[in-house]
Chains A and B, each alone.
Chain A
């Protein structure tokens, strides 16, 4: 049973560029959440997708957007990258029948130069 997978593992971009990160949820999970973890900090909630719609959003600017596909996989897009966007981006998935436990992927390390 595959867990949550994310791609790419690492990414380097320059200021002003745009980036797309990808996530495949754990088998049987239909809900995907994205978190940003700055160095030395705890993860911060970006948003959650369910049934291809954004269901909940944290305190992140509109430069951060997402999408969920019919197969429940998801993308996180960040436009006009800033140096402060450098972080580990984590994807988590939830089973509708076990809503208490979020399962995390290994993350994508984004570096903005």
Chain B
């Protein structure tokens, strides 16, 4: 079946550092890819998405490029802030062929802590 693998956490960085969180996937075809963020005590918020190969999703300074050659969707940010501290989940959309029927397959999550 389809699966998503994220880099092991936790990740601890200093403010203004460069961030990369690796994500690779195994899937049939070319599914839409997502990054969700979960702040402490909250549900998931969509951070960005890409729906086809070579698409770049971006939001709030974060970006990720859909690379079909390497089956990857790595999350990057040039200068992180303390407020970026959260758990980040990479996910792919899996459809069973019925129009609209879909589910998200998530990675295990990467906890990010930014120190001032």
Are the CB atoms of B103 and A55 closer together than 8 Å? no
Minimum distance in angstroms from B64 CB to a CB of chain A? 15
Query: In the complex, what distance in Å separates the CA atom of A35 from the CA atom of B91?
Result: 13
Q: Is A86 an interface residue (CB 8 A)?
A: no
Judge whether B46 and A56 touch: CB under 8 Å: no
A43-B44 CB under 8 A given contacts A56-B103, A100-B93: yes
* Nearest neighbor of A106 in chain B, beta-carbon distance: B43
Question: With A55-B101, A58-B103, A94-B100 in contact, is A42–B89 under 8 Å at CB?
Answer: yes
Residues of A within 8 A of B45 (CB): 104
Contacts known (A56-B96, A58-B103); A106 close to B42, Cβ less than 8 A = yes
B113 vs chain A, min Cβ distance (A): 15
Q: Would you list which residues of chain B between 11 and 61 have a CB under 8 Å from chain A?
A: 32, 36, 42-46, 49, 51
Nearest B residue to A105, CB-CB: B43
Q: With A48-B101, A56-B103 in contact, is A103–B46 under 8 Å at CB? A: yes
User: Is the Cβ of B100 less than 8 Å from the Cβ of A99?
Assistant: yes
User: Given B98, B102, B103, B109, which contacts A42 in the complex, CB threshold below 8 Å?
Assistant: B109
Q: Tell me whether A55 and B104 are in contact in the complex, defined as CB-CB below 8 angstroms, given that A100-B49, A101-B46 are known contacts.
A: no
Rounded to whole angstroms, the CA-CA distance of A35 and B109 in the bound complex is: 15
Q: Report the interface size class on chain A.
A: 20 to 34
Cα–Cα distance between A104 and B46 once the two chains are bound (Å) = 8
A96 touches B100 (CB 8 A): yes
Residues of chain A with a CB closer than 8 A to B66's CB:
none
Least CB distance, A68 to chain B, in whole angstroms: 14
Q: How far is the CB of A22 from chain B (nearest CB, A)?
A: 15
Q: Is the CB of A41 within 8 A of B108?
A: yes
Which residue, of A94, A100, A101, A103, has the highest number of chain B Cβ atoms within 10 A? A100
* A100 contacts B32, C-beta separation under 8 Å: yes
Chain B residues with CB below 8 A from A102, complex form: 46, 104
Contacts of A50 in B (CB 8 A): 100-101
Given known pairs A101-B49, A104-B43, the reply for A43 and B100 (CB within 8 Å) is: no
Can you name 10 extra interface pairs (CB under 8 A) apart from A4-B43, A40-B108, A92-B44?
Answer: A41-B108, A43-B89, A50-B100, A50-B101, A55-B100, A56-B101, A92-B104, A99-B100, A100-B32, A102-B46
